[in-house]
Structure 1
Amino acid sequence: MAKRKQASSQPDIPLAKPPQDDSDRFENFEDISPEEQERLIKESGLLGKVQKIQRAPEQTVDFADNVFNTVLYVIPLGFLYVIMDVLIHQQYGQDHSMAESLKRLVSGLPFLAVLVFYTHRFQTKRLVQLALVSVAVGSGSGLIYQLNLGSWTENMQRGPPLLTLWVFAVIQMDLLPCSVSLALVYGIARYNNLSLGLVRR
């Protein structure tokens, strides 16, 4: 009897389990007034962190990375120039050595490297994309005009540089400017009744 009296005198202890997570604490967050929500957000400090992330400046590419990218572009463009120089001499049946092609390449290599370096560095700028469109249209239509109406000596001298410059401008452009430039070259060629093939009409 004494044990039962002692047990009954103890306070009642709740036997309910605590919630597994704190998700139910935030179920009624929408019931809080907008002013209170704004105050809670400001006190948490998250708004300032988001603004700092948005205001963070764009990461600039390192100079060494720009030089490395320039080398990656110049090497295949140089090979393209040499191959086109050899092929166009073979097309007209002219003897031409690899040493002569390399000599011409070395003379134009500094200009090509500077052009690749700066256009690749500022490739996302609209002004650069517009300049690349003009370069592509000028070199592309000039190449087609030269192959149609130029003499064979002029074709051998101007063909490989124009083709290399055209390919370079195309691969540096975004898709939309590239499509516009190719459409303009096609339109100029058709307007002037120029052949798009290597064989003249």
Structure 2
Amino acid sequence: MVRTRKEKKAAEGIKLSHPDRTAAPSEDTLLKLAQDRNLFEEAERQKRKNAKHRDSDDESDDGDDILSSTADRVLEAILWSISLSMLHFTLDVLVQHQYAISIIWPQIIIRSVQASIVFFLLIYVLHPHVSAPSFVPGLPVRFQYPLRQILFLTASVTSGCYLVHISNRYSYLAVMKQSPPLGCLWVWSVIELDLPYAVLSLACIGGFFYQGGYTIKQPY
């Protein structure tokens, strides 16, 4: 905007100078107003209150994590037990088909459900989980994993060798009754083992099969 000559002349007549900073302010400053109203103390109390709320929230979050870990363990056990019960169902059908027995589906389903309950309990206790690294109370944690591997190695060799034995020496009724749960236990034990121990267990079963003179029976 263009100034007129009159405005320019009036502006030139105003003397420029710094404000006077030596005198005390005539009105209350913001700092003094805050001190008069105890705003700083109120802010400090609010800060402590917020800190207490954060601590309580952290404790509740820890409880939620523990509950969540337990739920994960239960869901994992359910998933494993369902998978093994499906394997039990398949083996039960195959062994009855092998001996040319009429398949009664309701009985097979009931046996699979019963097996799933047993598998759930075993898996919940024995399957390694981050929320429950110990399954033997009082035993140091560093010994828990080797003990679990020894347990599964023993279960794998025992169930595999016994399955080979009953398949060659027992009657067909005993084979039909015992082979599905033994087969599931054998498979689960091998899965839980580390690779060297799994290979060792299969080698032991193969040596038992060879030394015992067993044969693989052909279906009827």
TM-score by length of 1: 0.65
Q: How does 1:169-184 map to 2 (within 5 A)?
A: 169-184=189-204
Aligned equivalents of 1:81, 1:131: Cα separation in 2: 22
Aligned to 1:97: 104
Q: How does 1:32-51 map to 2 (within 5 A)?
A: none
Alignment gaps of 5+ in structure 2: 1-65, 135-143
Aligned equivalents of 1:137, 1:92: Cα separation in 2: 26
Instruction: Render the CA deviation track for 1:77-136: whole Å, top value 9, x for unaligned.
Output: 111100110111111111122211111122232221111112213597110110000000
Aligned equivalents of 2:169, 2:180: Cα separation in 1: 16
Q: Does 1:108 align with 2:115?
A: yes
Aligned to 2:161: 141
Which structure has the bigger radius of gyration? 2
Q: How does 1:113-132 map to 2 (within 5 A)?
A: 113-121=120-128, 122=133, 125-132=145-152
Aligned equivalents of 2:97, 2:218: Cα separation in 1: 15
Q: How does 1:17-32 map to 2 (within 5 A)?
A: none
Aligned to 1:87: 94
Aligned to 1:65: 72
Amino acid at match of 2:165: Y
Alignment gaps of 5+ in structure 1: 1-59
Amino acid at match of 1:193: G
Helix, strand or coil for the counterpart of 1:125? helix
How many equivalent pairs are there? 141
Aligned equivalents of 1:74, 1:107: Cα separation in 2: 11
Aligned to 2:183: 163
Amino acid at match of 2:105: M
Taking a change above 3 Å as real, the CA distance of residues 70 and 93 of structure 1, as seen in their structure-2 partners, is same
TM-score by length of 2: 0.59
Taking a change above 3 Å as real, the CA distance of residues 198 and 62 of structure 1, as seen in their structure-2 partners, is farther
Helix, strand or coil for the counterpart of 2:102? coil
Amino acid at match of 1:135: A
Aligned equivalents of 1:108, 1:130: Cα separation in 2: 24
Please provide the CA RMSD for this pair.
2.2
Aligned equivalents of 1:65, 1:179: Cα separation in 2: 30
Whether the 8 Å CA contact 2:156–2:185 is kept in 1: the answer is yes
Aligned equivalents of 1:147, 1:183: Cα separation in 2: 19
Aligned equivalents of 1:172, 1:137: Cα separation in 2: 13
Aligned to 1:199: 218
Helix, strand or coil for the counterpart of 2:197? helix
Aligned equivalents of 2:74, 2:217: Cα separation in 1: 36
